[in-house]
């Protein structure tokens, strides 16, 4: 009898423990999307979707960063429908390879890659790289584009003013840690970190083999861009900061450069500006030359006629 009661209580204990375990497991496997705050999740097994058009739901994998193409579609959709994004209009300024077009409504492959031709729902189309950034002049719907991989991304940012100047080695370690823990980027892809302490400027080069298709540098660059410029795309809105020797260092003014396996084919605006400048200078030089020539000639003529006049005088 006593033995049986013992057995019974131990069974009950087991059941209670099992119940507790199930509860804990259920709570921790809460259906939500870690890597995308706008995603909605539902069901068992937990599936998450992102609204990318009216009634168009894109299934996303929240165990990794969401492809940039899906994110841009979602942003366009939200911007059109007055949902909060605060992401339109943040055009980067300078030079080539910077995404000067800003956001558009992209066409994505099923796996989230950008289609090589993009038209933004218009008749005007252009070629993009694997980061979805325009790499050709704009053309019509018949434009021919091939898929081109962005194998090198340069992230240029400033750190916010802090008391102690960070040193390069500490900064590099901090960057490696946060890029790995926040975006899952392995250290091997950080090819170089440069630091100008006076300008507070940090340059991070992310590079992979041109043939490497296992990592998509555009995703983490996009997440980082949003982290620094606007708000995190993650569900948890922890601020992005680099831990430098125990001090959190925040970033600002981020600029992203893209380098493709093949050079872009667009007429670079800077180049056009340069060419115009050269043409203007050449024209000016020619004009000045002509003027000088004109005055020299006139002076010579004047001298000549004066001399002639003098000659005439002496003759008479």
Q: Which of residues 104-143 bind ligand NAG (CB under 6 A)?
A: 104, 120
Dihedral of CA atoms 271, 276, 281, 284 in degrees, nearest 10, equals: 180
Q: Which is nearer to ligand NAG, 190 or 256 (CB)?
A: 256
Question: CB of 256: closest distance to ligand NAG in angstroms?
Answer: 16
Residue 79 has what DSSP assignment?
Answer: H
Residue 160 has what DSSP assignment?
Answer: P
CA–CA distance, 182 with 175 (Å, rounded to integer): 10
Q: Which is nearer to ligand NAG, 96 or 285 (CB)?
A: 96
Per CB under 6 A, the list member of 41, 57, 101, 215 interacting with ligand NAG is 101
Question: CB of 120: closest distance to ligand NAG in angstroms?
Answer: 4
Q: Which is nearer to ligand NAG, 90 or 274 (CB)?
A: 90
Q: Which is nearer to ligand NAG, 120 or 253 (CB)?
A: 120
Burial class (CB in 10 A: 0-12, 13-18, 19+), 79: middle
Secondary structure of 243-291 in the HEC alphabet?
EECCEEEEEEEEEEEEEECCCCCCCCHHHHHHHHHHHHHHHHHHHHHHH
Q: Which is nearer to ligand NAG, 101 or 261 (CB)?
A: 101
Residues 60 and 50 sit within 8 Å (Cβ to Cβ): yes
Q: What is the per-residue binding string for ligand NAG in 136-175, x denoting contact by CB under 6 A?
A: ----------------------------------------
Sign of CA dihedral 174, 202, 216, 76: positive
Written as six digits, the tokens of 276 are 């115009």
Q: Which is nearer to ligand NAG, 120 or 173 (CB)?
A: 120
Peptide bond into 45 cis (omega under 30): yes
Question: CB of 192: closest distance to ligand NAG in angstroms?
Answer: 31
Q: What is the per-residue binding string for ligand NAG in 55-94, x denoting contact by CB under 6 A?
A: --------------------------xx------------
Q: Which residues here bind ligand NAG, judged by CB under 6 A?
A: 81-82, 101, 104, 120
């Amino acid at each position: 009898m006593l033995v049986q009661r013992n057995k019974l209580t131990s069974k009950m204990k087991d059941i209670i423990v099992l119940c507790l375990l199930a509860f804990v497991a259920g709570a921790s496997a809460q259906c939500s999307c870690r890597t995308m705050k706008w995603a909605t999740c539902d069901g068992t097994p937990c599936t998450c979707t992102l609204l990318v058009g009216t009634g168009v739901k894109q299934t996303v994998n929240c165990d990794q960063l969401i492809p940039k193409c899906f994110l841009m579609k979602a942003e366009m959709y939200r911007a059109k429908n007055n949902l909060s994004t605060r992401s339109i209009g943040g055009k980067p300024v300078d030079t080539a390879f910077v995404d000067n077009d800003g956001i558009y409504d992209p066409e994505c492959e099923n796996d989230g890659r950008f289609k090589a031709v993009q038209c933004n729902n218009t008749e005007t189309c252009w070629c993009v790289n694997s980061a979805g950034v325009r790499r050709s002049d704009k053309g019509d719907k018949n434009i021919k584009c091939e898929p081109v991989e962005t194998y090198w991304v340069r992230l240029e940012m400033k750190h916010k003013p802090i008391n102690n100047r960070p040193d390069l080695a500490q900064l590099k370690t901090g960057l490696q840690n946060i890029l790995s823990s926040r975006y899952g980027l392995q250290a091997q892809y950080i090819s170089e970190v440069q630091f100008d302490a006076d300008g507070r400027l940090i340059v991070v080069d992310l590079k992979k083999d041109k043939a490497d298709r296992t990592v998509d540098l555009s995703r983490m660059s996009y997440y980082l861009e949003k982290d620094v410029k606007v708000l995190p795309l993650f569900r948890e809105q922890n601020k992005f900061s680099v831990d430098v020797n125990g001090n959190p260092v925040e970033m600002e003014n981020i600029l992203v450069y893209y380098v493709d396996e093949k050079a872009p084919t667009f007429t670079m605006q800077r180049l056009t500006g340069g060419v115009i400048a050269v043409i203007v200078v050449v024209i000016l030089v020619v004009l000045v030359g002509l003027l000088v020539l004109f005055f020299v000639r006139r002076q010579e003529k004047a001298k000549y006629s004066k001399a002639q006049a003098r000659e005439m005088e002496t003759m008479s």
